[in-house]
């Protein structure tokens, strides 16, 4: 299904996943508002199950499998938040999950996925190797691929975070979401524009992994080549589907430096007392690097996740 989610699609997804997800809080900080000269509303998906927004999309996809598909289980390639999210979504619905991970993945990630009861298949590093291992599992187990973002149901699920944000905070001027593969920004764009076309929707992206920015500006899908950023959730590139959604429903992509990602992350930790991962900090970095654009505005920021290795902090 390559169609663009409507607001109704996202509302239906929300009703579907409501018994499974956490309703995450929207937090504010007087101190940060003073520092940035605007009103910031943080939608805290770091408090979502498995520690990131990815659980919304994963559980929405799992819930729409038919009985035959459920028997075969689900498969994906991801070493990060989507792997954990899909594993838990599958377990909560009593179906099998197979995760393809590069054998070079850090132990902490292997353990997290194993902890949710998923089966892990290790492969050599590289996109082709991952895809081959996935195809093998799809054939062997009759498992259904749940792609981390190139999937209509996943995008609808990710959009439900802004649905809750807009319900809770009125009169927003802007919503900013991180952009990696584009599932979150895609869902956010469809939800926000479907609700109120006057609200601007922006993607925040590391300048070191700026495929969405390039694609948006040139109008031509331009994947990243060997991106390198501390925002480890944003290394992936847009797909045709997410690019198509974002070019038509987002207003702009803002790129941010590594330095400002790290500084923004530290500021969130220090002032708000919450753990946000580097990918999440891009949204505050986007505000910080462009004060003129945001001054005096009411800004929704999607804090995408809080999965950080506490023994390897960048500050």
- Site of interaction with a copy of itself (CB under 8 A): 25, 27, 46-47, 51, 266, 269-270, 272-276, 306, 310-311, 313, 315
When the beta carbons of 80 and 203 are compared against a copy of itself, the nearer one is: 80
Least Å distance, CB 122 to a copy of itself, is: 24
Pairing of strands 39-44, 26-27: antiparallel
Least Å distance, CB 86 to a copy of itself, is: 18
H-helix or E-strand spanning residue 252: strand 252-256
CA-wise closest residue to 314 among 248, 239, 260: 260
79: annotated active-site residue: yes
Least Å distance, CB 310 to a copy of itself, is: 6
Least Å distance, CB 176 to a copy of itself, is: 20
When the beta carbons of 35 and 145 are compared against a copy of itself, the nearer one is: 35
The owner of tokens 């038509």 is: 248
When the beta carbons of 266 and 297 are compared against a copy of itself, the nearer one is: 266
CA-wise closest residue to 160 among 5, 3, 288: 5
When the beta carbons of 70 and 266 are compared against a copy of itself, the nearer one is: 266
Least Å distance, CB 291 to a copy of itself, is: 21
Residue 108 CA from chain centroid, whole number:
20
Distances (CA, A) of 153 to 6, 62, 72, 158, 180: 12, 9, 18, 9, 17
C-alpha to C-alpha distance for 103 and 307, rounded to whole angstroms: 20
When the beta carbons of 88 and 192 are compared against a copy of itself, the nearer one is: 88
User: DSSP characters for 171-190?
Assistant: S-SEEEEE-SSSHHHHHHHH
Least Å distance, CB 22 to a copy of itself, is: 9
Residue 47 CA from chain centroid, whole number:
13
The catalytic residue among 49, 54, 109, 214 is 54
C-alpha to C-alpha distance for 312 and 107, rounded to whole angstroms: 13
C-alpha to C-alpha distance for 258 and 263, rounded to whole angstroms: 9
In the sheet where 252-256 sits, what is the strand order? 26-27, 39-44, 298-303, 174-178, 200-206, 252-256
Is the Cβ–Cβ distance between 52 and 306 less than 8 Å? Answer: yes
The owner of tokens 């007392």 is: 273
Is the Cβ–Cβ distance between 166 and 191 less than 8 Å? Answer: yes
71: annotated active-site residue: no
The catalytic residue among 39, 52, 79, 87 is 79
When the beta carbons of 170 and 273 are compared against a copy of itself, the nearer one is: 273
Least Å distance, CB 84 to a copy of itself, is: 12
The residues annotated as belonging to the active site are: 54, 79
């Amino acid at each position: 299904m390559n169609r663009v989610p409507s607001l109704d699609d996202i509302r239906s997804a929300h009703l579907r996943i409501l018994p499974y997800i956490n309703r995450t809080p929207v937090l504010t900080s007087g101190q940060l508002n003073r520092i940035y000269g605007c009103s910031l509303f943080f939608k805290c998906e770091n408090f979502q199950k498995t520690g990131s927004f990815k659980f919304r999309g994963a559980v929405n996809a799992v819930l729409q499998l038919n009985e035959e598909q459920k028997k075969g289980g689900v498969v994906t390639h991801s070493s990060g938040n989507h792997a954990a999210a899909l594993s838990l979504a599958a377990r909560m619905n009593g179906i099998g999950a197979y995760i393809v991970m590069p054998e070079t993945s850090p132990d902490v990630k292997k353990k997290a996925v194993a902890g949710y009861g998923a089966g892990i298949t290790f492969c050599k590093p590289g996109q082709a190797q991952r895809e081959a291992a996935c195809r093998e599992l799809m054939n062997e187990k009759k498992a259904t691929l749940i792609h981390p973002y190139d999937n209509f149901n996943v995008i609808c699920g990710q959009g439900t975070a802004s649905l809750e944000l807009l319900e809770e905070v009125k009169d927003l001027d802007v919503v900013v979401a991180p952009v990696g593969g584009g599932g979150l920004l895609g869902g956010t764009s469809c939800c926000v524009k479907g609700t109120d076309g006057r609200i601007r929707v922006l993607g925040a992206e590391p300048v070191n992994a700026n495929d969405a920015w390039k694609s948006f500006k040139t109008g031509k899908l331009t994947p990243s080549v060997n991106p390198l950023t501390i925002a480890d959730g944003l290394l992936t590139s847009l797909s045709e589907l997410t690019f198509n959604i974002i070019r038509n429903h987002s207003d702009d992509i803002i790129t941010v430096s590594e330095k400002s990602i790290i500084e923004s992350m530290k500021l969130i930790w220090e002032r708000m007392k919450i753990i946000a991962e580097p990918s999440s900090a891009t949204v505050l970095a986007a505000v910080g690097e462009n004060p003129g654009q945001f001054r005096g505005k009411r800004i929704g920021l999607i804090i995408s996740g809080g999965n950080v290795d506490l023994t390897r902090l960048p500050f």
